[in-house]
């Protein structure tokens, strides 16, 4: 009798596994309304802190918009967060390592992605709910974040200068036993699926050269007359610089 019960249980497990499978869904994009109006700067601070809490890396910012991604070894997502003083919305831009399929002309992704986006929304809500007494600490973290962004821009400029210098060097003499092995690229994750959003998402590119006094924003090169205007240009404000053609 016990053997019969075990057989029935084993068959039930097999049937359950067979009837299961990956669940898919359209990327969530519902706006989250704030309980009360806030200054856009305070909403931005809450979003930045929540992104850091959920291990997202910020790629860039424009007015009332932050683009960031989360990636581990086998999977990741890329999002854009739009916000103002009364609401914020998290849009899924791309994913890698998650199953996707096309349903009625729309790309849908497995349900695990929804959990990640919901967790980010919950983290933003927690930051927005901080009492005024704790807001000072949040602002301190925000300043630290801004310093990290400036350091990132500086390191990007230095990396570009190093690449430019390396390209000007003659190729190594293969006859002298030089190492011709290529190094692995250090760029970000390669996205294998992209998703439509209800608002246009511009390409955010900020490149700066500390040696030439010029910077590039979204493919346009700007020539800056001094260090102050160059620094402003590297922070997405090219008003003190002159357009100088396209970036190469």
Summarised one tens digit per residue, pLDDT across range 36-84 is 888 898 898 889 989 999 999 998 898 899 999 998 888 899 999 999 9
Would the pLDDT of 234 be above 50? yes
Q: What is the per-residue pLDDT for 172? A: 59
Q: What percent of the chain has pLDDT over 90?
A: 18
Q: What is the per-residue pLDDT for 150? A: 80
22-147: CATH number:
3.30.310.80
Q: How far is the C-alpha of 103 from the C-alpha of 9, rounded, in Å?
A: 35
Q: What is the per-residue pLDDT for 82? A: 95
pTM score above 0.85: no
CA 242 to each of CA 84, 141, 184, 209, 245: distance values in angstroms, whole numbers, following the listed order? 31, 34, 36, 15, 9
Summarised one tens digit per residue, pLDDT across range 136-151 is 676 677 777 777 878 8
> Residue ranges per domain, the chain?
22-147, 205-248
Q: What is the per-residue pLDDT for 20? A: 57
Q: How far is the C-alpha of 158 from the C-alpha of 83, rounded, in Å?
A: 32
The two three-digit tokens of residue 109, written as one number: 């992704």
């Amino acid at each position: 009798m016990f053997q019969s019960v075990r057989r029935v249980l084993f068959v039930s497990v097999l049937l359950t596994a067979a009837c299961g499978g990956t669940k898919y869904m359209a990327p969530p994009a519902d706006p989250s309304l704030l309980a009360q109006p806030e200054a856009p700067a305070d909403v931005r601070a809450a979003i930045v802190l929540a992104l850091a809490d959920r291990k997202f890396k910020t790629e860039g910012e424009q007015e009332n918009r932050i683009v960031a991604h989360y990636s581990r070894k086998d999977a990741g997502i890329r999002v854009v967060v739009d916000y103002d003083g009364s609401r914020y919305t998290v849009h899924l831009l791309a994913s890698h390592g998650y199953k996707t399929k096309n349903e009625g002309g729309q790309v849908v992704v497995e349900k695990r992605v929804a959990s990640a986006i919901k967790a980010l929304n919950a983290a933003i809500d927690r930051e927005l709910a901080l009492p005024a007494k704790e807001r000072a600490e949040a602002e301190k973290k925000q300043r630290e974040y801004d310093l990290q962004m400036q350091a990132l821009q500086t390191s990007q400029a230095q990396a570009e200068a190093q690449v430019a210098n390396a390209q000007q060097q003659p190729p190594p003499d293969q006859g002298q036993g030089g190492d011709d092995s290529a190094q692995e690229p250090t760029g970000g994750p390669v996205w294998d699926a992209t998703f439509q959003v209800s608002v246009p998402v511009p390409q955010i590119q900020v490149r700066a050269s500390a040696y030439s006094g010029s910077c590039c924003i979204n493919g346009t090169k700007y020539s800056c007359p001094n260090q102050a205007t160059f620094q402003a240009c590297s922070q997405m404000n090219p008003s003190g610089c002159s357009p100088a053609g396209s970036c190469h």
